[in-house]
């Protein structure tokens, strides 16, 4: 196996990280969508919903 430069290693590790980050973010979005659907089916009044589910309830940029 040939040695890779530090720059190549850094780029490769960043690419792997960003690919995985996008997958995790997509998966968590799907879970939130399912959770919101579940809570709506339960028919809970909005006052009882978790704060994170309110529109604008989560702080932007804190993902």
User: pLDDT tens, 27-42?
Assistant: 888 888 888 888 788 8
Residue 44 lies in a domain: yes
CA dist., res. 50 & res. 63, Å (int): 17
The two tokens of residue 19 are 């690919």
Q: What average pLDDT is seen over the chain?
A: 77
Residue 1 lies in a domain: no
Residue 31 lies in a domain: yes
CA dist., res. 31 & res. 4, Å (int): 39
Domain that holds residue 41: 6-51
Q: Which of 32, 22, 27 is nearest to 58 (CA)?
A: 32
Residue 57 lies in a domain: no
Tokens 């009044």 correspond to what residue?
45
Residue 62 lies in a domain: no
Indicate whether this model's pTM tops 0.75: no
Per the structure, how many domains does the chain have? 1
**Residue 57 scores a pLDDT above 60:** no
Phi-psi region of 26 (alpha: psi -120 to 50; beta: other; left: phi over 0): alpha
């Amino acid at each position: 196996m040939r040695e890779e430069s530090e720059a190549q290693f850094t780029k490769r590790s960043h690419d792997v990280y960003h690919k995985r980050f996008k997958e995790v973010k997509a998966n968590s979005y799907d879970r939130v969508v399912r959770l919101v659907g579940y809570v709506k089916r339960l028919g809970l009044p909005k006052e009882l919903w978790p704060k994170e589910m309110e529109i604008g309830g989560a702080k932007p940029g804190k993902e």
